[in-house]
Chains A and B, each alone.
Chain A
């Protein structure tokens, strides 16, 4: 005896849901990151030297990886957000699946650009 089945991954295996999931996930992580980001930036109140020593924390590889991941999350959230604004405010042209594919490419491009530009 078990409980009746509920919506599972099979019902959600389509592109538009994937776009929603990425947007929600990236948004949540970015929201958690923001206060920490501002806390770090406010160390600038200690002047250049104090700020520099605080920034030194980010030399640890975990932070470097985090920075790269956050740039990608930001790109995903931006592209997904623009898609939503187009769906909600723009002329109706379906679920904008072409835009989802562009978003994925944009996120990959941002990830690669970050790696290229970072020392």
Chain B
């Protein structure tokens, strides 16, 4: 491990701006978040960025590092440094507020757009819903529910870039988990929401979402499930009605 400084290019500005280079001392076990923090505390206090837990649980620190969307707190510099250079930019596909902070409203609005929220018809006066943990639906739902909405998959998806209305892997993954929630009562609306150009059928199985998800969730699988379900619902009808 060398003792030369890291040459770190950081995006400064908003939609228009430039990469500014900073020299950051190298340390062992240094993460990219450590680097960004060092720049902001010691070199340039005007740098804006987001983080919270800094231990790989919240997803707030997601940025584009050397062209790839990652959690900066979980990315060791030694893993991704190119010689002694690093490039840090905001997440792709989201508007830039300032420097490394993006506006995530469209990301979360698309969750709503995909009916990525739960609605049941039971109250506290009813008995507990009985969900069989080994049932196929519950296992399918479990595969996707660990998503914390970090935006890495959304930022990695070329279809999101090419089709501004595309709901994106995270929203569709969440919709799929809810499609498999037997307590939910909005299934037909959800199917309608994820059909169409902006929905699951626009996915080209590029697989970047599955490749980059820091929680090893596979949105490609969820979207494949939705594709089949929606196609069948459009042609034959589903157990909740016809599209």
- Which positions in A face B, CB cutoff 8 Å? 1-12, 14, 16-17, 19-20, 24, 84, 87-89, 92, 94-95
Contacts and interface: CB of A to CB of B under 8 A. Distances in A.
A11 B15 contact: no
A11 B205 contact: no
A19 B220 CA distance: 14
A17 B224 CA distance: 16
A87 B208 contact: no
Contact of B208 (A1, A3, A4, A14): A14
A18 to B, nearest CB: 10
B205 A16 contact: yes
Contacts of B93: 7
Contact of B156 (A3, A7, A88): A7
A16 B68 CA distance: 15
Contacts of B96: 4
A95 B212 CA distance: 13
Interface string B12-26: 011111100000000
Contacts, number: 84
Contacts of A94: 210, 218
B124 interface: no
A4 B90 contact: yes
Given A2-B17, A20-B206, A20-B207, A10 B220 contact: no
B84 to A, nearest CB: 18
Given A7-B156, A88-B205, A92-B218, A14 B211 contact: yes
B211 A4 contact: no
B17 A1 contact: yes
Contact of B210 (A7, A16, A88): A16
A5 B158 contact: no
Contacts of B89: 4-5
A79 to B, nearest CB: 14
B16 A12 contact: no
Given A87-B224, A88-B205, A94-B218, A11 B210 contact: no
B210 A4 contact: no
Contacts of A8: 67
**8 A-B pairs with the lowest CB-CB distances in the bound complex, closest first:** A10-B67, A16-B207, A20-B206, A92-B221, A95-B207, A5-B89, A88-B224, A14-B211
Contacts of A12: 158, 206, 208
A20 B205 CA distance: 7
Interface in B71-96: 89-90, 92-93, 96
B69 interface: yes
